[in-house]
Amino acid sequence: MASSHTVTTCLSPPVHYVICKLGFEKKDAYDINNILSENGEVCWQALTEHVCYLESDQSVDYIKSIRSLGPVCESVNLHFKSLTKEKFVIQYALWFHWTNCTELFVEVFDVLQHTQTTGVALALMKLTSCLERALGDVYLLIGKDCPFLLRDLLASEQLAVVFGQAVMDVLRIFIGSPYGLNLRNVLWHGFASPQEIPAKYCAMLLFLTAGLGQLLQMYLLQTKCVLVHRPYVIFVSSEELDVFPDLSHEALSIAEELVKLSSFVLQTMIPFWMSALTAFKQSRYADCVILLLPQLEVGLRLLFTTTNKCPNRLLTAEPSALYTTFDEMLAKHLDNEEVNQLPAVLEEPSMELLWDFLNHQEGPRIRDRLSHGEINLEAFPREVANQIVAFAITLLCRFSDEDVFAFKEHMVIKPLMNCASCYRSQFHPISRLKKQVLECMKSIHLWPELPVVPEEHVQTIKGLEGNAEASTLISVISEILSQLQQYIPHNCYSSDDPVNSVLTERLLIELCETRVCTLYSPRPVLEILAILRKISAQCHQVSEQVIASTELRYKRWMNRNLRSRQRHNYLRMLSSIKFLSPVLRLILVMITLELVNVHLVCKKNQFDYQQYLKFLKSLLQYTENLVTYTSLEKNKWDETTELTNKALIKIRKIHDRKLMLMQLAT
């Protein structure tokens, strides 16, 4: 790995010049009273005068504008430094209410008083993410779907209507445009070291946010609109995020030692790592993760550029070229179509962990959500921070020039290394489908315990021939099962009573234990998985409806609240349950056998693939119809028999044509 001691900056020369030098070239002092009225209003007109435009196409001339705004930012910074906290709160706090994060902006003021280097960077990262979220709320006063990228949000007509185009241009000089200072991206992607971000830019963004609050208030008074804040994203299924054991104080102390030794860490970035570990110890979990994620990105970028022999990609690129972020580093191929070597170096478990935490749609997508202001920083869960720090420690250990054998074997570090080395994806569609199938089976397992009306009550009702139909369908299911026998583990198959001894939870658990590769699933695989997941979800819905209907009808029967036709219908339902349970369980077993062999779909020719897809869609249609017929409103039990019969014929047919994936495996 390239020595992490030789890299002095991750900013390319032009970007370094724009951020660290350009705004300091004009030395003349600027009077704060030019842009701040006596009653504390931001004079936007005096600010927008500093925005310069290119003659060619009237777009912002970022270089001239930054040079011109440099002294203004310095003046704002000195102005804030001259205020006491009380004075600042009286004069400005009200203007931050629109962000829904007033406390955070007051905190930024505190940071500016004692410019501790990592503090300014952290304050800027939090400020920009909260500002983006608030601007998105403003966008929704007029627009429908809020743009995902800050760049697109700031360039939107909707915000120009509320704040004015010139004001948006001022904002874009600082954030959201790769041609400007681009402070948010440079920090969130880990390109800037602590001493490279001038505090005066943080002060200026604090000032601009207050000014935006003043403009917004005028707009809301004129239009009688009400600003609504979108709710924060809550981390669901946090038990699935529980990979590593809880970090002890000792583990954190070892981590501090490792930071100084590991070649995963750039020398210039050590303060960020130390601040992150300190934040964790102080229970400031959001701060810890905000500081650490960009550092994981830098460390991985260092690995990426070394293993792929492209050292130039360690730096921020020019606006015209993409710079290397997590998305590029976790991809299968480089932009020149060659295979990315990083996954092989990191190995599958670590890749899966990164994909789970950062990329999968159903995962926590921690970096996205934090950087776009979607998470309540006050309530950031310790468990999630614990996972990120623990994973970071394993990377520090794995990628070290020094001999860190003693660290790896240390009794508090070894369990972390073991957890990292045997991780399996939790949020890939394959993992989600496994989970869905098992949950559905659990639901169907509750059916035999459902209350049933005593036999003597039933004798009074004549003309119920449901049982014969059920028996016929069950014998068809047994036939299909005998065809599936060769694909089912021997210890889970019994020919005496295939329906009840084979279609079990034990079989599904065993099949779900099969390791299926999740990294870089091709499009056909994802397409098939999406349909299988829909089928499984419909089966679950049917099961939940059957449970609810049975309990309700039983209660009403025993209370003598069912009319004759309803009693008849109830008994049809009980009769249908006899074949519905095995049919749903058969579908779950088939789905799981297909899932285990899902990658074989890529071996199908186009014609067979389309036929197979058609079959799966017809199975989905069957389960969707079942949901409709078994609902409390519809309650059509006779139709379910007919429907099921047709579905079983289709299943048998597709099996005879050898179109199933499990048949390709043999």
Identify the weakest region by mean pLDDT among 281-285, 364-368, 480-484.
480-484
Question: What span, in angstroms and rounded, lies between the C-alpha atoms of 511 and 505?
Answer: 10
- The amino acid sitting at 54 is L
Question: What are φ and ψ of residue 56, in 5° steps?
Answer: -60, -55
- The amino acid sitting at 624 is E
Residues 18 and 91 in one domain: yes
Q: To which residue do tokens 């067979």 refer?
A: 608
7 domain-assigned = no
Residues 148 and 249 in one domain: no
Q: Which domain holds residue 176?
A: 13-223
Residues 304 and 449 in one domain: no
DSSP secondary-structure letter at 30? Answer: -
Polymer length in residues for the chain: 666
132 domain-assigned = yes
Q: What is the CA radius of gyration of the chain?
A: 31
Residue 561 is predicted with a pLDDT of: 87
Question: What span, in angstroms and rounded, lies between the C-alpha atoms of 198 and 177?
Answer: 18
Residues 195 and 50 in one domain: yes
Q: To which residue do tokens 């005028």 refer?
A: 218
551 vs 452, 554, 633, CA distance in Å?
9, 5, 15
Return mean pLDDT, the chain. 93
Q: To which residue do tokens 């209410």 refer?
A: 97
Q: Which of 169, 198, 223 is the last residue of a domain?
A: 223
C-beta atoms surrounding 455 within 10 Å = 7
625 CB contacts (<8 Å, ≥6 apart)? 643
101 domain-assigned = yes
Question: What span, in angstroms and rounded, lies between the C-alpha atoms of 160 and 174?
Answer: 16
Residues 176 and 253 in one domain: no
Q: Which two tokens stand for residue 552?
A: 């309700």
Structural domains counted in the chain:
3
Residue 407 is predicted with a pLDDT of: 78
229 domain-assigned = no
Question: What span, in angstroms and rounded, lies between the C-alpha atoms of 121 and 194?
Answer: 6
Nearest Cα neighbor of 214 from 34, 93, 81 is: 93
Residue 456 is predicted with a pLDDT of: 66
Q: Which two tokens stand for residue 212?
A: 């935006």
CA count, 13 A, side-chain hemisphere, 147: 15
- The amino acid sitting at 293 is L
Q: Which of 196, 223, 250 is the last residue of a domain?
A: 223
Residues 132 and 58 in one domain: yes
What is the arithmetic mean of pLDDT over 287-303? 97
Nearest Cα neighbor of 590 from 425, 433, 426, 432 is: 433
CA count, 13 A, side-chain hemisphere, 413: 21
Q: Which of 375, 390, 421 is the last residue of a domain?
A: 421
Instruction: Using the predicted structure, report yes or no on whether residue 372 has a pLDDT greater than 60.
Output: yes
Residue 498 is predicted with a pLDDT of: 75
pLDDT in tens, 40-80: 899 999 999 999 999 998 899 999 999 999 999 999 999 99
pLDDT in tens, 551-573: 999 999 888 888 888 888 888 89
Which of the four pLDDT bands, split at 50, 70 and 90, describes residue 466?
Answer: low
Element (H, E) at 547: helix 523-558
Nearest Cα neighbor of 521 from 595, 589, 587, 593 is: 595
Q: Which two tokens stand for residue 588?
A: 């779950």
528 domain-assigned = yes
pLDDT in tens, 226-266: 999 999 999 876 678 899 999 999 999 999 999 999 999 99
Query: Can you say whether the dihedral through the CA atoms of 597, 602, 603, 607 is positive or negative?
Result: positive
266 CB contacts (<8 Å, ≥6 apart)? 4, 7, 10, 193, 298, 299, 302
Instruction: Using the predicted structure, report yes or no on whether residue 343 has a pLDDT greater than 70.
Output: yes
C-beta atoms surrounding 254 within 10 Å = 22
Residues 340 and 246 in one domain: yes
Q: What is the pTM of this model?
A: 0.93
Cβ atoms of 438 and 505 closer than 8 Å = yes
4 domain-assigned = no
Cβ atoms of 197 and 112 closer than 8 Å = no
Residues 414 and 446 in one domain: no
Cβ atoms of 173 and 181 closer than 8 Å = yes
Question: What span, in angstroms and rounded, lies between the C-alpha atoms of 91 and 210?
Answer: 10
Residues 331 and 443 in one domain: no
146 CB contacts (<8 Å, ≥6 apart)? 136, 139, 140, 153
Q: Which two tokens stand for residue 395?
A: 């990377």
Q: Alpha helices of 140-267 — where are they, by DSSP H?
A: 150-154, 157-163, 165-174, 183-188, 199-223, 249-261
By three-state DSSP, how is residue 52 classified? coil
Residues 71 and 91 in one domain: yes
8 domain-assigned = no
331 vs 306, 325, 335, 355, 540, CA distance in Å?
16, 10, 9, 10, 34
Q: To which residue do tokens 């409103």 refer?
A: 633
665 vs 334, 514, 593, 596, 602, CA distance in Å?
32, 14, 10, 10, 12
Nearest Cα neighbor of 205 from 179, 229, 176 is: 176
Provide the total of helices (H) and of strands (E) in the chain, helices listed first. Answer: 31, 0
User: What is the secondary structure of 580-630 as a DSSP string?
Assistant: HHHHHHHHHHHHHHHHHTGGGGGGS-HHHHHHHHHHHHHHHHHHHHHHHHT
Q: CA 144 from chain center: how many Å?
A: 22
By three-state DSSP, how is residue 400 classified? strand
pLDDT in tens, 425-458: 999 999 999 999 999 999 999 999 998 887 766 6
Q: To which residue do tokens 């295939």 refer?
A: 498
Residue 323 is predicted with a pLDDT of: 77
233 domain-assigned = no
Question: How many angstroms separate the most distant Cα atoms in the chain?
Answer: 101
Instruction: Of 268-272, 634-638, 656-660, give the range with the top mean pLDDT.
Output: 268-272
pLDDT in tens, 382-421: 999 999 999 999 999 999 876 777 777 789 999 999 999 9
3 vs 267, 302, 306, 401, 563, CA distance in Å?
10, 9, 10, 8, 82
Residues 28 and 163 in one domain: yes
Q: Which two tokens stand for residue 519?
A: 């990294």
Cβ atoms of 569 and 487 closer than 8 Å = no
Instruction: Using the predicted structure, report yes or no on whether residue 487 has a pLDDT greater than 60.
Output: yes
Residues 415 and 436 in one domain: no
41 in the Ramachandran plot: left (φ > 0), alpha (ψ -120 to 50) or beta? beta
